[in-house]
Structure 1
Amino acid sequence: MEEDKHSLKERKVITIGIVSELTGLTVRQIRYYEERKLIFPERSNQGSRKFSFSDVETLMEIANKIEEGVQTHEIRREMAKKKKGVTEKEVRNRMLKGQIRAQFGDPKM
């Protein structure tokens, strides 16, 4: 069930106009953040941008940081570090599970 919630949050189904209404950002601001590689909407067959609820949350975080005076390149760097940190944590967890399996057999994890 948790996986279903996560996948629904990640589904790219929201148009840029709705995202603008939800976030209070202008369409131009949203496009600018895409140009600066801070968000990555998908494109429909007609070329329309489609966003997820996660994208909306990210845009709100970006808007708050911009308001605080943080530059877009600093936000992008911070986002990359955050993403990399999650990846490193996942690798560390897999390594630990592998070591436990090697030491104690194959416990159900």
Structure 2
Amino acid sequence: MSREIRRSMPLLSMNIVMQLTELSARQIRYYEEHQLVEPHRTEGNRRMFSLNDVDILLEVKDYLEQGMKMAKIKQLFAKKNAATSKKAQDLSDSELRRVMREEMRQAQRLKKSSIRQGDLSRFY
């Protein structure tokens, strides 16, 4: 399993994230309202956070402690997200095939079907 996949898995409850970031539940919900983080929701509607979400919350906290306003923080994250999505779109066909082959191999090793494999099955 790749490092990025592990970091994006929603594993941490609100209480754990509050302890890790020293933010209140209200602060975390506020940042969610401003779409700075998007935690996964369980069937019971509980928020589950990934390590990437915790990193974002800590980054927001640092910016606020430096005196930066929320509007400026949102602009920074919007630029960062736009750059990331542009980078993902710039994958060549050969790179995309390589990534998909690796995901299929990992799924076979774990004896699970890949999410992408289900998406691609309609084309075969």
TM-score by shorter chain over 0.5: yes
Corresponding letter in the other structure for 1:88: K
Percent identity of equivalent pairs: 32
SS of 1:50's partner is: strand
Q: Distance in 2 between matches of 1:39 and 1:19?
A: 12
**Is residue 2:46 matched to residue 1:55?**
no
Using CA pairs under 8 Å that are at least 6 residues apart, name the structure with larger relative contact order, 1 or 2: 1
Query: Per-residue deviation at 1:92?
Result: 4.7
**Deviations 1:34-92, CA, capped at 9 Å, x for gaps:** 11111101111111101000000000000000111112221111111112122334445
Distance 1:84 1:94 in 2: 18
Is the alpha carbon distance of 1:93 and 1:13 closer, same or farther for their aligned partners in structure 2, counting shifts above 3 Å?
Answer: closer
Give 1:4 deviation, angstroms: 2.0
Paired letter, 1:71: K
Name the counterpart of 1:41. Answer: 39
Alignment of 1:1-109 (within 5 A): 4-92=2-90, 94=92
Q: Distance in 2 between matches of 1:25 and 1:69?
A: 16
**TM-score, with structure 2 as normaliser:** 0.68
* Aligned AA (1:56): V
How many pairs align? Answer: 94
* RMSD of equivalent CA atoms: 1.8
Gaps in structure 1 of 5+ consecutive residues: 98-109
Which amino acid is the alignment partner of residue 53 of structure 2? D
Alpha-carbon distance in 1 for matches of 2:91, 2:2? 23
